[in-house]
């Protein structure tokens, strides 16, 4: 009688383990997984935005009038955000104009700060 109880307990534990492992894919499909995509973009959109950011950075780098070494470029769904620092208002405006002329840019948010020239 003791052997039967031991075999039944082992069988129940094994059945419980199999049931839990079998239910795991179902639970994961219902709850989903966090992808880390905080902007809810498709892979194609992210690739396109990366390409747009690269083209804007190249346009800034190729400018013969100013050097934009402290300017950052981020793109989300075709909207380019410029941030960082420049030395003059003209430099800031030129960066915005250059970004607007890049293919794939739908809008430009120019958050570039002009350094205080009095210091």
Lowest mean per-residue pLDDT among 15-19, 34-38, 100-104? 34-38
Which class in CATH covers the domain with range 43-114?
A: alpha beta
- Spans of all domains in the chain: 1-34, 43-114
Q: Mention every residue, 6+ apart, whose C-beta is less than 8 A from residue 115.
A: 85, 86, 87
HSE of 26, CA atoms in CB hemisphere, 13 A: 5
Q: What is the arithmetic mean of pLDDT over 7-28?
A: 71
66-117 pLDDT per residue, tens: 999 999 999 999 999 999 999 999 999 999 999 999 999 999 999 999 997 6
């Amino acid at each position: 009688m003791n052997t039967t109880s031991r075999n039944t307990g082992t069988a129940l534990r094994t059945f419980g383990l199999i049931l839990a492992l079998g239910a795991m894919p179902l639970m994961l499909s219902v709850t989903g997984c966090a992808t880390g995509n905080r902007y809810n973009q498709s892979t194609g959109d992210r690739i396109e935005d990366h390409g747009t950011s690269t083209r804007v950075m190249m346009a800034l780098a190729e400018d013969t009038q100013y050097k934009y070494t402290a300017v950052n470029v981020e793109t989300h769904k075709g909207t380019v955000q410029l941030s960082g620092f420049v030395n003059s208002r003209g430099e800031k405006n030129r960066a915005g104009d250059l970004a607007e002329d890049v293919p794939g840019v739908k809008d430009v948010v120019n958050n570039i700060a002009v350094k205080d020239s009095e210091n």
